[in-house]
Amino acid sequence: MIDILLAGSPNVGKTSLFNKMTKSFAHTGNWQGVTVDKLSKSVRLGEMKVRITDLPGLYSMTVYSPEEAVSRDQLIMQDGAAVINVCDASNLARNLYLTLQLLELGKNVVITVNMVDELSKKGKVFEGKRIEDALKTPVISVSAKYGRGIDELLKAAVKAAEENVAAGEKKYGGEQGLSTIEKLPYLKKLPVLEVWQIIKNNVAKADLPLAYAAVKVLENDEYILERLKLDIRQKRRIAALGDWQDRVASARYAFIDKIVKESIKDYDTFGMPQKCPKGHKSGDTFGCVPPFKTPPPGVPIKSKDFMGRERLTFRKSKQKGTPLEDSAIKKRNTQQPKLSRIDKVLLNKYLALPIFFLIMLLIFTITFYVPGRWLSNGLGFLIDKFVYAPVTTLLKSTSPWVGGLVGDGIIKGVGGVLVFLPQVTLLFLFLSILEDSGYISRVAFMTDSGFHKIGLSGRAAFTLLMGFGCSAAAVLSARALEDANMRKKTVLITPFMSCSARLPVYLLIVARFFGGNPLVVFALYIFGAAVAILFAAIFERTKRLKSADAPFVMEMPPYRLPSAKRAARLILHNTKSFLVRIGTMVLAFSVIIWILSNFSLANGFITGEGGAGGMLDNSVLSAVARFIAPIFKPLGFGSGEAAAALLSGLAAKEIILSSIEALGGVDVLFTGAYAWLCALSFLVFVLLYVPCFATLAAIGKEIGFGWAVFSFVLQTGVAYVGSLFTYTLGLLFVKHRILVFAALGVAFFIVVVVLLNRRILNRRKRITKAFENAK
Amino acid sequence: MTVSFAENVNFRLTLASAQKGKSYKIKEIKGGMRLHRRLLDMGLTAGTSVYVAARAVGGGAVLVSLRGVFIALRDTAASVVVLY
């Protein structure tokens, strides 16, 4: 059995290469953390069985996350395996950093460079042969997109693996170490041999390659130091050598910079480009120039002048009539790319956030109004007409309660969720477009500082904003978040972002009691967001949910045109899980609710009206509602009708509206002199309490059943406290205005004093810090 | 040690206080263990030129380009990269 590992930086196309090689359909995406564990598949190459393993992305053999640890461990443990090191041509320097470490590890590597076509578009030529010569490792050009070169790559990898096997036991001995140093000349600048002397025996015991272990020791790599189990004397001797961490990195990068300079060149410095061989297609650049439709400035174009003679012309640069000057060429050659034009706008100080809000607004409108809502309503209508009606009439004629169960319970319940499908799909479409194009990274960059203070990252911004649309879909999108704890926190606070289903309830009540004043609705939304932020901060302080030391460094991917294929795959996958997982839960709950609302303990089956049981009747559900109603008395809406409405809201928030109507309208729920206050308190409760079952199911799916229960309790508790607060404060305000103003005044005073104190403290801290820096 | 605040205090130029649109050369990384290694691995070694492409709104993260790619650093990370 031949083993081949696919290793490389995150996001270079390992997984799509893996898919092409094994003809499978593993998931890819333009964000980190998609490949979370190793993925192995066997293929047949002629007579041999070859096992290919796709490893999670890795920047360097010093790891920072559990996924990277998986890759590192596999690379070290599987000493017989060959490695296909996938590199990205536009990011070559950093990719080669891992390559060097793989070579230090003594692995038999075959390098493949991906995305060379993107380089060509920028007017550069890639010469893989230079890398081959420098590293004495085969470099094979592949186009993962077009699937060419893959067989050749596989064959080379298999050959490398076979060489490995032939080397056999001699793998980790002194000879191997010396040959590594010969292969990688920059190692000569480092005291590798001295370290070697010190750790010789430990290395043999720990079963690690000598050269690799020595370099890692110089880098103060915790993992290797742990595995070596050095004693005090050894540690002291190593410490005496000094701190070589920086110099190791510098040595590697100096070597890399030279290689990159040789292997990526501009057309003009490259000289007259060679003609490409026949059958050559773009993406195959290996020292030749593929034909362009419009070559970049500087590439000669063959053309015929008016007399039919062949001439070479150059496309002019932007300035009319002037050829490219030396400085312009130099600018292109430097390794410090300037921001693309798109980025200049999107990351502009003043424009960035407004643009983001505009984009979110656009997404919202399309998903939740036009055409999203139409599609939803249309689907609802279709289900009603073609599924509900015929089925129920048929079944009800035979047996009323089966008809009711299937019709009102199952079809209405599941249908209620299915109706969301168009909107959810649209949301996922937008999510995948934004993610794939790389925009989400820009947003994360912009909002990171703010979010970091409450323990989240900028990527959470999108999830939370989606929560304004549909909590369930937003929770599902939280999958992309890197840190497990941060994912949990984000998922837990998302329901506080008032989802669009709650809006009809607000509108109804505000219309009746507050004259339709939009400020009230707006205030509710802001309050929800504030509670979300508050809890994020609270969770961050708890031990359980504290975010791990997040990576302080994020790579900014280049803008990419989102690929339709990837989007389609993502949408299919997500909607499938939406339907399956959530559908089953909702089905179960719908049936339960239907049973509860249409059966009473005394009379058996009674025909109730849909989910809420019509005017409070004898059904179990109504009995429950009447039972718990007194709990809500201190909140101002202690009637059975209100309780029933809220209970029905557990299935879906829109149902609250129809329940209220069915039960007699808002005036039945909110009575008394301060009916408006009761209504306000009710609004706060609706804002904060448990979202629909679909969301609970999504939460359970994303972060576990236990957390879903916690979320339920949390939301209910917070809603209760919030309502209580609103009602009692409101009553106080109405009855004893002066007291409230006095209290507010005192609070204001305290806040001002505290803030002032903090400013003074901070100032002192800043001054002492300046002194520290000076030393 | 009483030093008047008005005197010329020698302070470090780090990426956190670097100006957008300018190129700088890295002097050293003066910082904590894991962060230090991570920055080195990403290519922020002594002697490397970086170009400050953008800063996040209201301070915070900074976007730099080096060796052909863009890397975003949080302010805690940026304040550890000392420049000439």
Residue-wise pLDDT for A639-666, tens only, equals 777 888 888 788 777 777 777 777 777 7
Residue of A694, A764, A669 lying closest to A419 (CA atoms): A694
A113 or A577, which is more confident?
Answer: A113
Asked whether the beta carbons of residue B38 and residue A553 sit closer than 8 angstroms, the reply is yes
Domain covering B15-83 in this structure, CATH number: 2.30.30.90
| CB spacing of A773 vs B53 below 8 angstroms | no
Indicate whether A97 pLDDT > 90: yes
A260 touches chain B (CB under 8 A): yes
**Separation in Å, CA of A58 to nearest CA in chain B:** 11
Q: Where does the pLDDT of residue A265 fall: very low under 50, low under 70, confident under 90, or very high at 90 and above?
A: confident
Q: Give B59 to chain A, closest Cα distance, Å.
A: 8
| Distance from the B51 Cα atom to the nearest Cα atom in chain A, whole angstroms | 6
More confident residue, A408 or A390: A390
Band of the pLDDT at A329, cuts 50, 70, 90?
A: very low
pLDDT at residue A98, as a whole number: 94
Cβ of A189 under 8 Å from any chain B Cβ? no
Taking only residues 16 to 45 of chain B, the set having a beta carbon closer than 8 angstroms to any beta carbon of chain A reads 23, 28-29, 33-43, 45
pLDDT category, A84, cuts 50, 70, 90? very high
Of A148 and B54, the one with more pLDDT: B54
How confident is the model over A384-394, as a mean pLDDT?
79
Contact B71 A774 (CB under 8 A): no
Residue A677 scores a pLDDT above 50: yes
Contacts of A558 in chain B (CB under 8 A): 70
What is the per-residue pLDDT across B29-43, written as a single tens digit (0 to 9) for each?
887 777 888 899 888
The tokens for A142 are 């592949």
Interface A:B, Cβ pairs < 8 A: 147
Across A104-122, b (16+ Cβ under 10 Å) vs e yields: bbbbbbbbbbbbbbebbee
CA distance A233 to A218: 16
Q: Which residues of B are less than 8 Å from A352 in CB distance?
A: 57
Under an 8 A CB cutoff, do B74 and A335 touch?
A: no
- Residue A430 C-alpha, separation from nearest chain B C-alpha, in angstroms: 24
Say yes or no for a CB contact (<8 Å) between A257 and B67: yes
Residue A49: pLDDT band with limits 50, 70, 90: confident
pLDDT in tens, A434-486: 877 888 888 888 887 777 777 787 778 878 888 887 788 788 778 767 677 88
Q: Measuring CA to CA, which residue among A164, A23, A4 is closest to residue A84? A: A4
Closest chain B CA to residue A555: B71
Q: Is residue A31 packed enough to be buried (19+ CB in 10 Å), middle (13-18) or exposed (0-12)?
A: buried
Alpha carbons B1 and A768: distance in angstroms, whole number: 12
The sign of the torsion formed by the CA atoms of A156, A158, A160, A166 equals negative
- For A223-257, give the DSSP string: HHHHHHT--HHHHHHHHHT---HHHHHHHHHHHHH
Residue A384: per-residue pLDDT: 81
* Average pLDDT of every residue of chain A: 77
The kind and range of the H/E element at A86 are strand A82-88
Do the chains contact at B57 and A64, CB–CB below 8 Å? no
**Distance (Å) of CA A647 to CA A147, A477, A524, A654, A664:** 56, 27, 21, 12, 16
pLDDT band at A250 (very low <50, low <70, confident <90, very high): very high
Q: Which residues fall within 8 angstroms of residue A188, CB to CB, at 6 or more apart?
A: A181
In this predicted model, what pLDDT tens digit does every residue of A181-215 receive, in sequence order?
888 888 888 888 888 888 888 888 888 888 888 89
Q: Which of B14, B23, B74 to mutate to test the interface with A (most CBs of A within 10 A)?
A: B74
Q: Is the CB of B50 inside 8 Å of chain A's CB atoms?
A: yes
Q: pLDDT tens digits for A687-722? A: 999 888 878 888 888 888 888 899 999 999 999 999
Instruction: List pLDDT tens digits, range A293-325.
Output: 455 555 566 666 666 666 666 655 543 333 444
Check pLDDT > 80 for residue A61. Answer: yes
Look at B68 and A90 and tell me if their CB atoms are within 8 Å: yes
DSSP state of A488: H
Whether the model clears a pTM of 0.90, i.e. scores above it, the answer is no
Q: Chain B closest CA to A335's CA: distance in Å? A: 5
